[in-house]
Structure 1
Amino acid sequence: MSDLETRIYELEAKVAFQDETIDILNDEIREHQKIIAIIQRQTQLLAEKIKEVQNSPNSDGPLVEPPPPHY
């Protein structure tokens, strides 16, 4: 095998490795995007729930925490 063929073979191996790495990273990004979407939805639901509780007729305005016991 000539020097040129060896270099071409090595380059092809590097490209194959990079393609595999890109595929793995794309899969990870897809999974992270799903998790981020779930977390965003949960945050939105929590914010809505907090507004409902603050605006409910049984509420005395904004939620106020009682002072700590040492006061």
Structure 2
Amino acid sequence: MNLEDRMTELESRQAFQDDTIQALNDVLVAQQRVVERLQLQMAALLKRHEEMMGQFDSFEEEAPPPHY
């Protein structure tokens, strides 16, 4: 293999690697957006769960009716 063929091969490999890295980066960015959205949803669900548990706790703390 002469020097020109080697350079052409290296440039071709570099171009392919650049495309692969860009594709992987695009996927990573999309996954990060999904993770962030899921974190927001999880925080909202936890808040809602705590609010609901607070409502149930207040029912349990009430004294039983006088006829017991």
Q: 5+ unaligned residues in a row in structure 2: which ranges?
A: 58-68
Q: CA deviation at 1:9?
A: 0.2
Distance 2:53 2:13 in 1: 59
Q: TM-score, normalised by structure 2?
A: 0.80
Q: 5+ unaligned residues in a row in structure 1: which ranges?
A: 62-71
Distance 1:12 1:54 in 2: 62
Count how many residue pairs are aligned between Structure 1 and Structure 2.
57
Q: TM-score, normalised by structure 1?
A: 0.77
- Which structure has more helix as a fraction of its residues? 2
| Residue in structure 1 matched with residue 3 of structure 2 by the alignment | 4
Relative contact order higher in (CA < 8 Å, ≥ 6 apart): 1
Poorly superposed stretches of 4+, deviation over 2 Å = none
Distance 1:4 1:29 in 2: 37
Distance 1:54 1:17 in 2: 55
**Percent pairwise identity:** 35
CA RMSD of aligned residues (A): 1.0
